[in-house]
Amino acid sequence: MYKCWMLLLQSAFLLITFPRAHAADDKGVSKPANKIVELTPEQASLHLLEGAMAQLAASPAILRVHTCYQAALGYSRISNTKETAVLMQCFTQSLGIEDKDLAAKTSLQLRIMDALYFLDANAAQELLPMAEVKAKANIQARILQKVVNEKRYDEALAQITRDSYAADFPYKAAVTLMQNFPKDRSQDFRLVFTAALQSYRLEDPAIDPKLEDMATLIVRFWRDLPPQLVMAAIEEVLDHAKKDLKNTSAPSITIGTGLGEAQFSTAYQYRLFELTPIIRELDAAKAESIERENPALSNVIRDYPQGLQSLEPTYRGTTLRAGESPKFTITYRLRPMNGTAEAGSKDLQLNALSRQSAEILQKTANDPRAALSKAMELPDIGIEETLRSVRADALARMATNAPSPDVASQAITSLVDVAEKYPPLSKAMYLLIASRIYLGIKDKAAATALIQKAADVAGKLYALDDNHDAPNHAFKFDWPSAVVWRACVVLQNRIDTDAATALLGTIKDPEIRANVQVVLAGERLGVALPANIVRQQFGDGPGSVQDFPIIH
Residue 471 above 60 pLDDT?
Answer: yes
Average pLDDT over every residue of 3-23: 39
- The DSSP bridge partners found for residue 260 are 257
Decide if 142 is inside a domain.
no
484: number of Cβ within 10 Å? 29
Decide if 14 is inside a domain.
yes
Q: Among 24-33, 35-44, 283-292, 347-356, where is mean pLDDT lowest?
A: 24-33
Same-domain status, 223 and 314 = yes
Decide if 164 is inside a domain.
no
Same-domain status, 463 and 528 = yes
pLDDT score for 20: 40
The pLDDT-based confidence of 383 (bands split at 50, 70, 90) is confident
Same-domain status, 416 and 281 = no
Q: Tell me the torsion sign for CA atoms 366, 372, 374, 379.
A: positive
pLDDT score for 249: 67
The Cα-based distances of 225 to 98, 212, 219 in angstroms read 45, 18, 11
Most confident among 355-359, 425-429, 541-545 (mean pLDDT) = 425-429
Same-domain status, 218 and 99 = no
Q: Among 131-145, 347-361, 365-379, 475-489, where is mean pLDDT lowest?
A: 347-361
Decide if 178 is inside a domain.
no
Same-domain status, 259 and 358 = no
User: Could you tell me the residue range of the domain that residue 89 belongs to?
Assistant: 41-131
pLDDT score for 402: 82
The Cα-based distances of 67 to 13, 64, 78, 418, 506 in angstroms read 24, 5, 17, 36, 19
Same-domain status, 34 and 47 = no
In angstroms, the CA 438 to CA 480 distance is: 24
Residue 291 above 60 pLDDT?
Answer: yes
Same-domain status, 295 and 308 = yes
In angstroms, the CA 309 to CA 216 distance is: 10
Instruction: Tell me the pairing of strands 252-257 and 544-547.
Output: unpaired
Same-domain status, 16 and 125 = no
**Model pTM score:** 0.74
Full DSSP string of 339-369: -HHHHHHHHHHHHHHHHHHHHHHHTTTT-HH
Decide if 519 is inside a domain.
yes
User: What percent of the chain is modeled with pLDDT above 70?
Assistant: 90
Decide if 95 is inside a domain.
yes
Most confident among 196-200, 239-243, 366-370 (mean pLDDT) = 196-200
Same-domain status, 31 and 121 = no
In angstroms, the CA 269 to CA 290 distance is: 10
Kind and range of the H or E run holding 154: helix 153-163
The closest alpha carbon to 58, from 122, 143, 1, 125, belongs to 1
The pLDDT-based confidence of 386 (bands split at 50, 70, 90) is confident
Distance of CA 383 to the CA centre of its chain: 22
Same-domain status, 89 and 214 = no
User: What percent of the chain is modeled with pLDDT above 90?
Assistant: 55
Asked if residues 174 and 196 have their Cβ atoms less than 8 Å apart, the reply is yes
The Cα-based distances of 68 to 55, 91, 160 in angstroms read 11, 9, 33
pLDDT score for 36: 55
In angstroms, the CA 250 to CA 241 distance is: 11
Decide if 149 is inside a domain.
no
Same-domain status, 290 and 389 = no
Same-domain status, 294 and 220 = yes
**How many domains would you assign to the chain?**
4
Full DSSP string of 82-122: HHHHHHHHHHHHHTTS-GGGHHHHHHHHHHHHHHHHHH-HH
The closest alpha carbon to 500, from 484, 479, 486, 512, belongs to 486
429, exposed or middle or buried, with CB in 10 Å at 0-12, 13-18, 19+? Answer: buried
In angstroms, the CA 488 to CA 478 distance is: 15
In angstroms, the CA 283 to CA 279 distance is: 5
Average model confidence (pLDDT) for the chain? 86
Decide if 139 is inside a domain.
no
The Cα-based distances of 481 to 143, 322, 423 in angstroms read 41, 50, 13
The pLDDT-based confidence of 51 (bands split at 50, 70, 90) is very high
500-549 confidence digits (pLDDT tens)? 999 999 999 999 999 999 999 999 999 999 889 999 999 887 788 888 99
68-123 confidence digits (pLDDT tens)? 999 999 999 999 999 999 999 999 999 999 999 999 999 999 999 999 999 999 99
